[in-house]
């Protein structure tokens, strides 16, 4: 067998493999001879069919069969001989196949890149230093109070944070438009529920008052037929209500799971939950920083076949979560390429650092995740009994191990921040 290797574009490799004619012919003849005892052909007794006749009838089929099997076996041998590792299935192209001649074919495929990572000691990372302060707990309690908020009808002019119930009819160029009318629609002033300018016209109105006004739709409004156009709205205020927040008392504490109704205990539990969420968010930000740094420091070509597989997996995952989304495969390619590249880099880092995943660390991760559920024991039992889910957990555990190892080796600077800035970076 003769083998030659050609380097194509990027990671592409082209193997040209030549199998001696004698090898092919010998195998074909062996199989033809083996047919003599079993083949049935009209005009001949069983086992007495001349080899010449068998060759005439079956040599073409046998040659194709032998060629296919030889291509598989010689391709594997050639990979071993040339120390190549294909990323995906090869594209096989055979030359003219004739018995008695050398069997020649090419196998085109991509290989995995040879990785030489930038030393992690050269990476620069940023960690967040933040804590949960009493003011943060007070703010969270206000959020919880608003979750339990009631509304009380008032006989006064409306103001921000009041809830108004309104009837309205909207027109553009004198014609009503789809979605432009409603009855008894609740609307909280200042919440930005309506198009800009709409709520401003209602501020200060009382129940039973009516108003007609004009406001333009934004130029980037989702309904293109309305974008940028001026609309006229006729509005009747049906009701004005003000928010009534609950007291922080025994009933309030019980509503959030404190069985004895101790409000001070509620604050302690809230702070503990906030600290847990903050710690998790800080770890996530560090993980993102490590991943981004590894990607940036180690640019590489990645096998297009693997990227295509990953993109298809992302597409299927998206369609399962959002049926009917039907996004084109191209929209997943960038994310797929990053995931493939990151997977290769993480695997190489794990190899360099001799990191491994054991059953104890996987179980610990599952137990950590279970804390967010009402029945942690049921969650743990479900995950530990599902091999597919456990494989996902193993990946997370390995990623966490890589992040910790890289963070220990890299140049790390600490940035002071607040709970709110860490948890709500967009101010929402």
Q: pLDDT tens across 342-366, in order?
A: 999 999 999 999 999 999 999 999 9
Judged against a pLDDT cut of 70, whether residue 46 lies above it is answered with: no
Model pLDDT, residue 47 = 66
More confident residue, 28 or 130: 130
pLDDT in tens, 157-208: 999 999 999 999 999 999 999 999 999 999 999 999 999 999 999 999 999 9
CA separation for the pair 385, 380 (Å, rounded): 8
Q: Write out the CATH class of domain 2-110.
A: alpha beta
Q: Reply yes or no on whether the pLDDT at 45 is more than 90.
A: no
Tokens of 332: 């997943």
Given a cut of 80, whether residue 44 has pLDDT beyond it is: no
Residue 214 — pLDDT band, cuts 50, 70, 90? Answer: very high
CA distance 165 to 410: 58
User: What was the pLDDT predicted at 43?
Assistant: 66
pLDDT at 84: 92
C-beta of residue 194 within 8 angstroms of C-beta of residue 187: yes
How many angstroms separate the Cα of 327 from the Cα of each of 140, 308, 336, 338? 38, 15, 14, 19
Q: Which residues contact 406 (CB under 8 A, 6 or more apart)?
A: 120, 123, 125, 290, 293, 294, 349
Residue 408: phi and psi, rounded to 5, are -70, -30
Could you tell me the two tokens for 399? 């990623």
Confidence of residue 213 (pLDDT cuts 50, 70, 90): very high
* Whether the predicted pLDDT of 428 surpasses 60: no
Confidence tier at 427 by pLDDT (50, 70, 90): low
Can you give the pLDDT at residue 49?
64
pLDDT at 52: 73
321 pLDDT tier (thresholds 50, 70, 90) = confident
Q: Tell me the average pLDDT across 226-242.
A: 97
Contacting residues for 130 by C-beta, under 8 A, at least 6 apart: 278, 282, 416, 417, 418, 419, 421, 422
Domain 150-244, classified CATH 3.10.50.40, yes or no: yes
Per-residue pLDDT at 221 exceeds 60: yes
- In sequence order, what are the beta bridge partners of 352? none
What is the C-alpha separation between 289 and 123, in angstroms, rounded? 10
Domain boundary assignment for the chain: 2-110, 150-244, 259-423
| Range 259-423 has CATH code 1.10.3120 | yes
Reported as a single tens digit per residue, the pLDDT across 98-122 is 888 999 999 999 999 988 999 999 9
* Predicted confidence (pLDDT) at residue 61 exceeds the cutoff of 90: no
- Predicted pLDDT of residue 266: 94
| Mean pLDDT, the chain, integer | 91
- Largest interatomic CA distance in the chain: 111
């Amino acid at each position: 067998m003769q083998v030659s290797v050609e380097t194509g574009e990027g990671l592409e490799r082209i193997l040209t493999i030549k199998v001696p004619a004698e090898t092919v012919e010998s195998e074909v003849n062996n199989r033809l001879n083996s047919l003599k005892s079993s083949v049935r052909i009209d005009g001949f007794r069983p086992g007495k069919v001349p080899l010449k006749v068998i060759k005439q009838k079956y040599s073409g089929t046998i040659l194709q069969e032998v060629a296919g099997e030889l291509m598989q076996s010689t391709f594997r041998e050639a990979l071993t001989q040339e120390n190549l590792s294909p990323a995906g299935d090869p594209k096989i192209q055979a030359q003219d196949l004739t018995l008695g001649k050398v069997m020649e074919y090419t196998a085109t495929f991509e290989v995995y890149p040879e990785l030489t990572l930038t030393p992690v000691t050269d990476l620069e990372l940023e960690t967040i230093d933040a804590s949960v302060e009493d003011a943060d707990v007070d703010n969270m309690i206000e959020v919880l109070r608003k979750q339990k908020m009631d509304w009380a009808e008032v006989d006064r002019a409306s103001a921000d944070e009041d809830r108004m119930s309104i009837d309205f009819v909207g027109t553009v160029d004198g014609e009503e438009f789809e979605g432009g009318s409603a009855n008894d629609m609740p609307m909280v002033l200042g919440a930005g529920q309506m198009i800009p300018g709409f709520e401003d016209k209602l501020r200060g109105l009382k129940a039973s008052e009516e108003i007609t006004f004009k406001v333009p739709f934004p130029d980037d409004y989702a309904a293109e037929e309305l974008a940028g156009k001026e609309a006229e709205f006729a509005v009747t205020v049906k009701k004005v209500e003000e928010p009534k927040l609950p007291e922080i008392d025994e009933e309030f504490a019980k509503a959030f799971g404190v069985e004895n109704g101790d409000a001070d205990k509620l604050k302690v539990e809230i702070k503990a939950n906030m600290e847990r969420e903050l710690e998790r968010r800080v770890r996530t930000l560090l993980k993102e920083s490590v991943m981004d740094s590894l990607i940036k420091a180690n640019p590489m070509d990645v096998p297009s076949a693997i990227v295509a597989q990953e993109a298809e997996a992302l597409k299927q995952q998206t369609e399962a979560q959002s049926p009917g989304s039907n996004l084109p495969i191209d929209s997943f390619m960038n994310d797929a390429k990053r995931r493939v590249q990151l997977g290769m880099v993480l695997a190489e880092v794990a190899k360099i650092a001799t990191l491994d995943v054991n059953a104890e660390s996987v179980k610990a991760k599952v137990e950590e995740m279970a804390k967010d559920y009402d029945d942690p024991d049921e969650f743990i039992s479900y995950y530990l009994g599902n091999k597919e889910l456990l494989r996902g957990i193993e990946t997370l555990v390995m990623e966490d191990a890589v992040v910790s190892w890289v963070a220990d080796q890299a140049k790390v600077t600490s940035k002071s921040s607040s709970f709110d800035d860490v948890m709500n970076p967009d101010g929402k």
